[in-house]
Chain A
Amino acid sequence: MTLKVTRRQFFKLGAVGMATSSMAMMGFAPEPAVASIRHFKLTGAKITRSNCTYCSVGCGVLIYSRGDGAINSIDSIYHVEGDPDHPVSRGSLCPKGAGLLDYIQSESRLKYPQVREPGTDEWKRISWDEALTRIARHMKDDRDANFVDQDAEGNTVNHWTTTGMLAASASTNETAYLTQKIARSLGMVVLDNQARV
């Protein structure tokens, strides 16, 4: 038995972030998938709702990923398209959005923490623990050396102006909020984001 389901209804059936592969096996497959001669490319994919993070329109996108289904298997993303339900973008994407898959899979993606030691000409792979510990050490040393608790007029200022930070305009609100909270608790005032440029 195969239920007749339009493509759009199919998306609605697939709850947010939920794997739809089992539903497809149970027969909740969109008609084109069943009708097509060649196996429908998206059959068995997990559909995840997302948003394009280039410009500020905030177009809805659907990300299709699939692993081999085994325990500990790793999903990989193999298709990205516009979300037809999204009231602003209504399924469309611009040439940038159409290239999102190439961004996710770009050869320029960084995979490991690295350091470039002073004066050298190469990246050296290091562990997360080493990277984060060395950075924390640099920050603490600088903060201890240059933190200002009182200014020349005797005002309590409790600020740190010799390490600065640029926050990312494509990062989430959750990252941004945590950045703000941590930065101010350290007394950081040299803090900006792309809104300035």
Chain B
Amino acid sequence: MAGLAPTFGRGAMTNHWVDIRNADLILVMGGNAAEAHPVGFRWVMEAREHNDARLVVVDPRFNRTAAVADYYAEIRTGTDIAFLGGLISYLIETDQIHHEYVRAYTDASLIVREEFDFEDGLFTGYDAENSEYNKETWQYEYNEEGHALRDDTLQHPRCVFQLMRAHFSRYTPDVVSSVCGTPRDKIQHVWDMVAATVVDDKTMTILYALGWTQHSIGSQIIRTAAMLQLLLGNMGMRGGGINALRGHSNIQGLTDLGLLSDLLPGYMTLPEADEQDYEAYILDRSRPDLLPGEISYWRYYERFHVSLMKAWFADAATEANNWCYDWLPKLSESMYDVIHTFERMSHGEITGYICQGFNPLAAFPHKAKTSAALSRLKYLVVIDPLRTETAEFWKNHGEFNDVNTAEIDTEVFRLPTTSFAEEDGTIVNSSRWLQWFWAAAPPPGEALPDTAILAGIFLRMQQMYRDEGGAFSDALLNLSWPYRYPAEPSANEIAREYNGWALEDVVDEQRNIVCRAGEQVEDFGMLRADGSTASGCWIFAGCWTEEGNQMIRRDNSDPYGVGQTLGWSWSWPANRRILYNRASARPDGTPWAERKAVVWWNGNRWVGNDVPDFPVESAPAVAQGPFIMNQTGRGQFFARNRMVEGPFPEHYEPFETPIANNPMHPNNPLAKNNPGARVFEQDRANFGSFEEFPHAATTYRLTEHFHYWTMHNRLNAIAQPEKFVEIGETLANELGIVKGDRVRVSSKRGHIEAVAVVTKRIRPLQVAGRTVHQIGIPIHWGYLGETKRAHLTNTLTPSVGDANTQTPEFKSFLVRVDKL
């Protein structure tokens, strides 16, 4: 999601599942929704059948989504920036952009600093020694009030539009074809289909998933797509948007709640070690407007932060102690992500690790490294409903997990937890809907809900600190614990807490009481920075109000007939279903097109079929921008300093590439791979070369399985019982492999064995003068459960991540295939 937030302001799916039916064109790229999100994908078919929509798939494999598509184009894995960058250039040069939208709702007119430049693959400020940029010049030019200079004619040579135009002009159809391996006529066909959605009453939606995120350039691929949608005026519209299809049922919720090393709930961030001053910390995050009068909603950061601290530390958090600012852990590294953590673990720098419903031995890259790292732990705690490979990493499973058990000194605890069917609570689906569910039966044996397990450990630690003293304990001893049964906090209590309540009467500017002490807040607008409110996750404020639990709502009526169902569950923020929906109307407040209308100005206020993602009384004449979280109020083509490797996306090769150099910058080795990526020495030593491992491999899911969980289900095991890999016919013929043969697939890091599926669905590509074959490797199957025993796919994958998110590059790496 690191590509969406710097462009639009929030890192989430912008529209929702049912809204896909309103699209005129659906581009599926970097995902395979028919396979991985089959029921959500029905809305794509609905659009085709009832909205005369077309479906286009661009993917390394002719996959199950492609099988029902109107058009399919093959592409080499990891080259999507080139494909989409070329498309951006094509739209600009052939004047197929939405002029009024681009001028009014994007930063195209803003002027960039004179020192900013891009040369042979590198932006200004590169420090090759540390693989990082000094981003000082990646800024607009500002006047004395701190507002960006602009040229609404878009002619200024340093306005964002002209810089973007020049940047992507290098991506000509021939260059794109050579980088991506996609035939020229297919590129042109897809580009023309997309360009047709530039008109007011047509929209394209883009569906992507892990096929875009799991690259060393993943965030920038997503940004390129986001820029494309801005150019076409497809954001905020019905049937438009960028639909980031999350991989797991509650990844959205866990991210919303900040379960990442550097985050706090609601996309607030932990302070860095050198941010010692509370006011400076708040000021840095209370982003001011960069254009006069823009909303720039993060300006209220302190309200959300103080409310969080009140939820956590109650009376202990006071203005005098800066709301316990010193108690918050500060970061000495920008991220303690999983690749970083397993690197440290492999050096013996981690003592203990807790895996809650997570199976890193199977899910993380380079299994041999993961296994060696886990072996160095003093203790490992696995909290899971199922047996997992991770909990048994010390057990010898022959060729599948060949470890020396006696030499592994890790103490391992395995704690049984409830499954979804045995607990109450909510998950946030990809569309940001918080849906409540109920326990249907007690769990097996002695299994407990995660909340009780966490409370059990925490309360015991608290008692030990009371009895024995120890390291800094103010925060843990003062943690607010207002639960009726302390050892078993209930889902209801916790949900009420993350919504938040008033601690004192909350008044508005006219001194009217808007929320009485003790009442649940109705929305985040009621939160205050003076300690009078508590809220555990400001973006969830509104989910449990004085009216009760909004997440249980089950009114599926759709009065406008457009699929919004505002009475079903509750969606963050503020029950808005389509983000940035102010942009569905022209600057004057009338919809761009009746059939695409979401909200409109009725003369007094914004109304419509959705909750306006905009101040309802902000008149069109005031001309505030629709991207209210951004400091410019506009969609950002220019990411400024918000991306690690540059304000514009550029194609770089995967760290394991099947060609000799980056065709965009053949003579600059610094620009071969992502210049901003972090690579650990032992991981670099474990990269293979295309001379030894000639084929490009990519991993993916099947519709019959979910990761390694469904290996334990009889029905799913019957449906897909055995590990296979997909090999194109041409390569199979060269290697003498026929369907059903067993093959060994090896990378520099290890090998797996599987049944060969020989297929016409993967074609050889001509890339930079070389024939590249791609191998498809499903991620499923392991050596536990009901399916036939197999090696874990992540035996093969490289340990290197996206420069912004550190999401591992599971989708592009090198292998060799041998017949067994």
Contacts and interface: CB of A to CB of B under 8 A. Distances in A.
Given A57-B40, A58-B429, A145-B351, 17 more contacts: A56-B40, A56-B245, A90-B42, A106-B713, A109-B419, A120-B405, A121-B395, A149-B472, A153-B273, A159-B331, A162-B349, A166-B338, A179-B450, A185-B476, A192-B261, A195-B1, A197-B364
A21 B512 CA distance: 50
Given A116-B414, A136-B464, A173 B425 contact: yes
Nearest to B557: A87
Interface in B277-332: 312, 326-332
Given A87-B556, A138-B378, A191-B259, A74 B441 contact: yes
Contacts of B328: 158, 184
Contact of A187 (B438, B453, B472): B472
5 contacts: A16-B552, A156-B276, A162-B352, A164-B350, A177-B265
Interface stretch (A24-32, A35-43, A47-55): A47-55
Contact of B706 (A55, A60, A80, A191): A55
A48 B440 contact: yes
A75 B439 CA distance: 11
B32 to A, nearest CB: 12
Contacts of B420: 50-53, 170
A139 B461 contact: yes
A140 B337 contact: no
Given A181-B479, A196-B337, A170 B712 contact: no
B764 interface: no
Given A113-B414, A192-B341, A193-B255, A156 B351 contact: no
A118 B410 contact: yes
A56 B331 CA distance: 31
Interface residues of A, number: 122
Contacts of A174: 424-426, 451, 489, 491, 494-495
B471 A147 contact: yes
Contact of B351 (A56, A104, A163, A168): A163
Which 8 residue pairs of A and B lie closest in terms of their CB atoms, listed nearest first?
A: A111-B445, A168-B357, A58-B429, A172-B425, A110-B416, A56-B246, A169-B248, A147-B471
Given A56-B252, A95-B719, A165-B353, A194 B341 contact: no
B247 interface: yes
Contact of A170 (B357, B379, B430): B357
B595 interface: no
Chain B contact-residue range equals: 35 or more
A68 interface: no
Given A118-B409, A164-B354, A178-B451, A173 B250 contact: yes
Contact of A177 (B42, B247, B257): B257
B274 A155 contact: yes
B455 A55 contact: no
Given A172-B491, A187-B472, A194 B247 contact: yes
Given A112-B416, A189-B331, A103 B710 contact: yes
A92 B273 contact: no
A146 interface: yes
B261 A189 contact: yes
A147 B472 contact: yes
Given A51-B427, A171-B250, A196-B260, A181 B312 contact: yes
Contacts of B414: 110, 113-116, 123
B784 interface: yes
Interface of A: 16-17, 46, 48-60, 63-65, 74-77, 80, 85-90, 92-104, 106-121, 123, 128, 131-140, 142-147, 149, 151, 153, 155-182, 184-197
Contacts of A51: 249, 420, 427, 429, 435, 437
Nearest to A63: B440
Interface string B218-259: 000000000000000000000000000111111111111111
B330 A155 contact: yes
Contacts of B385: 109-110
Given A56-B430, A123-B414, A196-B806, A175 B451 contact: yes
B384 to A, nearest CB: 7
B421 interface: yes
Nearest to A111: B445
